[in-house]
Amino acid sequence: MSRIPSRTHPLTVGVVGLGAIGRRVCQALDAGLPGVTLVAATARDRSRGEAFLKSLGTPVPFASLDELIAAAEVVVEASTQAHLAEIAPKALAAGRDLVVLSCGALLGRTDWVALADAHGGRIHVPSGAIAGLDGVKGGAVGPITSVTMESRKAPAGWAGAPWVVEQRIDLGAIREETLIFQGPATQACRAFPANVNVLAALSLAGVGPERTTTKIYAVPGLTRNTHRIAVEGEFGSLAIEVRNVPSENPRTGRLSYLSTIALLRDLGATLRVGT
């Protein structure tokens, strides 16, 4: 597969998952991103997926996962960690580039990295709903002593998380800012698989999930998903706060799909800015 898209051969893209992120990515590709083009999409709900794809300016086919991988050089996973377990081996064994949104599932998956190496594919992780990963990656070239992250969402933003269910946390009874979890990224990504992909991305960019720690808060009345990152190292210190407007899915900030669109734009671009 060519790594240098040309004007006569844009990179072909397939999107797996047509939720809050997948639909926006498809719409951006349909509107036009230089060097990349949408060729197929798939989702669990075929009727809704087909209806959405027909609404695009240039409709693309609803495909099975195997058909999508055959058609697309770049596969965008905008689904779930559980679905990624099926998507990743198939896409990487076919030599495809894989854009992973459910990046918590990448922790510990050295086998997927080896599979990509063996077949000439690459795994890309968008920065998602946070900022500063370029600084973290640069700082990690020298020693980093600590990486911490605090995440705050309205209680509904944590609904359904395994940790909330297992601990029997009554989110509806929370009346003030409440710490509902504290621990390393390794544990947090299992406890909140659909909520803290930003934490997984941070740990992959920096010192790893065992040394990246987090606090998770439920805050009644909060209208923006908020993440605070603090990094200390040989380079100095870095502090970032991002306040995301949620998408139609309260678990997902709009920056998640915007950063994915930006990554795809970079894949098709001649000039790329940032680490």
For position 5, what pLDDT does the model report?
Answer: 44
Of 3-17, 157-171, 247-261, the poorest mean pLDDT is in 3-17
- Asked if 139 and 237 sit in the same domain, the reply is yes
Evaluate if residue 4 carries a pLDDT over 80. no
- Asked if 140 and 245 sit in the same domain, the reply is yes
In a domain, 274, yes or no: no
- Asked if 104 and 168 sit in the same domain, the reply is no
Of 3-7, 8-12, 266-270, the poorest mean pLDDT is in 3-7
- Asked if 151 and 211 sit in the same domain, the reply is yes
Residue 208's domain is classified under what CATH number?
A: 3.30.360.10
- Asked if 215 and 107 sit in the same domain, the reply is no
- Asked if 121 and 147 sit in the same domain, the reply is no
Residue 72's domain is classified under what CATH number?
A: 3.40.50.720
- Asked if 183 and 120 sit in the same domain, the reply is no
- Asked if 80 and 110 sit in the same domain, the reply is yes
**pLDDT tens sequence across 183-208:** 999 999 999 988 888 999 999 999 99
> What integer is the mean pLDDT of 224-229?
94
In a domain, 4, yes or no: no
pTM recorded for the entire structure: 0.89
For position 252, what pLDDT does the model report?
Answer: 72
For position 6, what pLDDT does the model report?
Answer: 45
In a domain, 275, yes or no: no
Given 9, 83, 119, 227, which residue is catalytic?
227
Distance CA 102, CA 82 (A): 9
Of 11-20, 35-44, 157-166, 252-261, the poorest mean pLDDT is in 252-261
Share of the chain above pLDDT 90, in %: 84
In a domain, 115, yes or no: yes
- Asked if 34 and 64 sit in the same domain, the reply is yes
Look up 9 and say whether it is catalytic.
Answer: no
Residue-range definition of the domain harbouring residue 32: 11-128+255-267
Evaluate if residue 169 carries a pLDDT over 60. yes
Domains: count for the chain? 2
